[in-house]
Amino acid sequence: MPGCMVDGASYKEALINVETVVNEWIETAKKLGRKILVAKGKKLISA
């Protein structure tokens, strides 16, 4: 996901932050009318 980076004080915190950032990225992309790729096996498809 272009432009996304996260970190955390612990592994668990970093995973929580990943979920938050991914959800915010998708929400923003939808508002901007951008295509969102969906993982399907080893390939990405447009959603």
> So where are the chain's domains?
11-46
Residues 6+ apart with CB under 8 A from 14: 6, 7, 8
Nearest Cα residue to 20 out of 6, 32, 36: 6
Stretch 5-23: mean pLDDT, rounded? 93
Reported confidence tier of residue 44, pLDDT bands at 50, 70, 90: low
CA distance 15 to 9: 11
Residues 6+ apart with CB under 8 A from 16: 8
What pLDDT, in 10s, does the model give residues 16-30? 999 999 899 999 999
Question: What was the pLDDT predicted at 15?
Answer: 92
Check if the beta carbon of residue 19 is closer than 8 Å to that of residue 26: no
Q: Which helix (H) or strand (E) holds 19?
A: helix 11-31
Reported confidence tier of residue 1, pLDDT bands at 50, 70, 90: confident
